[in-house]
Amino acid sequence: IDSTIAAIHHIILINIRAGRHILLINYHCCTLYPVLFNYHCCTLYPVLFNYHCCTL
């Protein structure tokens, strides 16, 4: 049970770190390309979809 809790906690920490990284990417894309394809993603789905928009 303890190992399961530890594993879940580790996954949560990874997700938090990834989320922060994605937020930085979002800020970069929003400020550089606010009127292009990223505008819709940045304003409505800043975490879920903006990474996809930034890479495309």
2-41 per-residue burial string, b: 16 or more CB within 10 A, e: under 16: eeeeeeeeeeeeeeeeeeeebeebbeebbeeeeeeebeeb
- Contacting residues for 33 by C-beta, under 8 A, at least 6 apart: 39
Residue type, 11: I
- Domains of the chain, by residue range, sit at 2-55
HSE-up (13 A, CA, CB side) for residue 46 = 15
Mean pLDDT of the 1-13 span = 70
Summarised one tens digit per residue, pLDDT across range 9-56 is 766 565 556 555 555 555 555 555 555 545 555 555 555 555 555 544
Indicate the pTM of the whole model: 0.30
Residue type, 56: L
